[in-house]
Structure 1
Amino acid sequence: MHSHAELIAETLASGSMRNVSIGAPQTTLIDIVAPFVATFSQHDPTPHVSEISLSPEPTQNSSDYDLIVTPQRPADDHETLSLAALPVWAYVPQTHAWAQREAIDLASLCEHALILVPAAQKSRQILDAALSLADLAPRGTIEVSQGRLAQALAAAGRGVAVLSDDAHFALHPLRILDERGYALQFHLHAAWRRDHHGSAELFSMAQRLRDFCQLRYGPTLASAPDDDAQPEGPTAHRPGH
């Protein structure tokens, strides 16, 4: 096992990073980071990917990773790059009355039981904030530990799953519109330490990840303020497309 100092020395000697450690929360790791790593060539650093927990300070453990991919706004002392604007989706089965629609408003959503991920997840926080602002509450809720289970319950007809994960079980995704008619969404960021010995390479890798996200989910709202509650325009892309 190489020490941190040895890795720095190797990087400086070779002019490139031989290994790169990437940290991301579970959903981001599965839906985005793992598919991105699958595009690596033999010329890329060897990736070491780990799950990190969502915390009030997403970069508090950045000393343990070269690159962090997070839906939370990174600390000001880190280099960052906005990767994508990800919608919060309402998932229903193909047999649902909404299956031919592209979007649903919050008031209509609240007429159904909602299947929700834990409050620590960004998609849940965005939904809770929108409901609070509109003074609305769902007819009922079921909270599950992770997104795949939420979608399984939606497929079984137990309610509408609300989350940002890619679609599974042939579910139909709908944008969720707030009272102004804007879709709920949040931003995904890449972050790394400004004093990192491979900062230039990490910036290049973050740019590649941004391009990958844009191909997968649609372009980042580059002209909009970097606000996690920034509403999305009318041309949302479906997850995984």
Structure 2
Amino acid sequence: MNLRLLRYFVSTVDAGSATRAAGSLHVTQPVLSRQLRQLEQDLSLTLFERQGHRLTLTPAGSQFLPLARALLRQADEVERAAASIASGRLDQLHLAVPATTLSDVVAPFLATLRPDDPVPIVRQVDPRGADAALRSGADLAIVARPPSPAQASQALAVLPIWAQIPAEDVWAGRKSVDVSELLERALLLLTEDFRPRQLLDEAVAAAGLSYHQPVECTNAQVAQALAAAGRGVAVVSDDPRFGLVPVGLTGPAGAVRIHLYAAWDPQHHAAPTLADLADRLARFCVDRYGDSVRPG
């Protein structure tokens, strides 16, 4: 289908007359009339009723008009995308992010974006990891496992996993507790599909220990709210909320911590832009949490 003819058709409708449309399109009225008739012939539709120089949409023309507008908008988007790819520019940034880092790390970073940065579109990271997230359309994936060597990547931060307690708790003021001590308390844990829970499970297993009926939560803030209500110790990587006090966790291998990485396709047309955003996010983490979170 000839997009130029579609533009003539839509411009004629918007202008209200062939004379005004011809002027805005910088063609003569006879040329515009021939082009509109050519479109009707191509579509096998009568789009206009003609009364002298006056054109009125037929019922078929009225039905076809929104379809023509939609097709032209899509064509414009394709042209913009092609220009963006050709220039190495990224207009929209599709981010895949774990739920446990979105509210405290990624969302605050997005608030620092500059006017010339791409517009972020955020969705939850694919649980199968960076490769799956990038294959499903993400430009940049934030993950808690080392990405595949086939991907370009950058280590972002090493964040503690906390035992969070009310300020009046007996552990308040301590820098850390061992997992053996932790298991003596009522626990509020994330479900097993969350990376902080997986790392805690590994530390507990390495210590040869096991849980005793923990309460499982599908949201870190729910676990924190329950901890604030005195229902147990919330084990999360999120920043403290509801007046809770964070205490570090240690296991047989040392501090229990979560590693964050950014990953992207090295062949991405805007790979330098993605690398710059990853570097800025890494520096943001250090600015926000201190030098202790800098990857070694």
How do 1:218-237 residues align onto structure 2 when only pairs under 5 Å count? 218-219=290-291, 220-223=293-296
Structure 2 CA distance for aligned equivalents of residues 7 and 75 of structure 1: 28
Does the 8 Å CA contact 2:96/2:133 hold for their aligned counterparts? no
TM-fit CA distance, 1:6: 5.3
Query: Which residue number corresponds to residue 287 of structure 2?
Result: 215
Runs of 5+ unmatched residues, structure 2: 1-73
Structure (1/2) with the larger helix percentage: 2
| Residue 205 (str. 1) matches residue 277 (str. 2) | yes
Flag as ranges the 4+ runs of structure 1 deviating above 3 A. 219-223
TM-fit CA distance, 1:72: 2.0
Distance 1:6 1:61, change over 3 A: farther
Secondary structure of 1:176's aligned partner: strand
Query: Which residue number corresponds to residue 86 of structure 2?
Result: 12
Does the 8 Å CA contact 1:90/1:175 hold for their aligned counterparts? yes
| Residue 41 (str. 1) matches residue 114 (str. 2) | yes
Structure 1 CA distance for aligned equivalents of residues 288 and 177 of structure 2: 23
Q: TM-score, normalised by structure 2?
A: 0.70
Structure 2 CA distance for aligned equivalents of residues 159 and 53 of structure 1: 30
Query: Which residue number corresponds to residue 231 of structure 1?
Result: none
Query: Which residue number corresponds to residue 255 of structure 2?
Result: 183
Provide the alpha-carbon RMSD of the alignment.
1.8
Query: Which residue number corresponds to residue 150 of structure 2?
Result: 77
TM-fit CA distance, 1:21: 1.3
How do 1:92-241 residues align onto structure 2 when only pairs under 5 Å count? 92-179=165-252, 182-219=254-291, 220-223=293-296
The alignment of Structure 1 onto Structure 2 pairs a total of residues equal to 219
Structure 1 CA distance for aligned equivalents of residues 173 and 150 of structure 2: 46
| Residue 54 (str. 1) matches residue 127 (str. 2) | yes
Larger Rg: 2
Instruction: State the AA in 1 paired with 2:264.
Output: W
TM-fit CA distance, 1:214: 1.1
Does the 8 Å CA contact 2:126/2:132 hold for their aligned counterparts? no
TM-fit CA distance, 1:8: 4.6
Secondary structure of 2:131's aligned partner: coil
Q: Indicate the structure whose relative CO is greater, using CA pairs within 8 Å and at least 6 residues apart.
A: 1
Structure 2 CA distance for aligned equivalents of residues 208 and 152 of structure 1: 32
Percent sequence identity is 37
Structure 2 CA distance for aligned equivalents of residues 192 and 6 of structure 1: 22
Instruction: State the AA in 2 paired with 1:7.
Output: A
Query: Which residue number corresponds to residue 232 of structure 1?
Result: none
What are the superposed Cα offsets for residues 48-105 of structure 1, whole Å, 9 maximum, x if unpaired? 22223422x3321303111111112212211000000011110000111111211111
Structure 1 CA distance for aligned equivalents of residues 111 and 229 of structure 2: 32
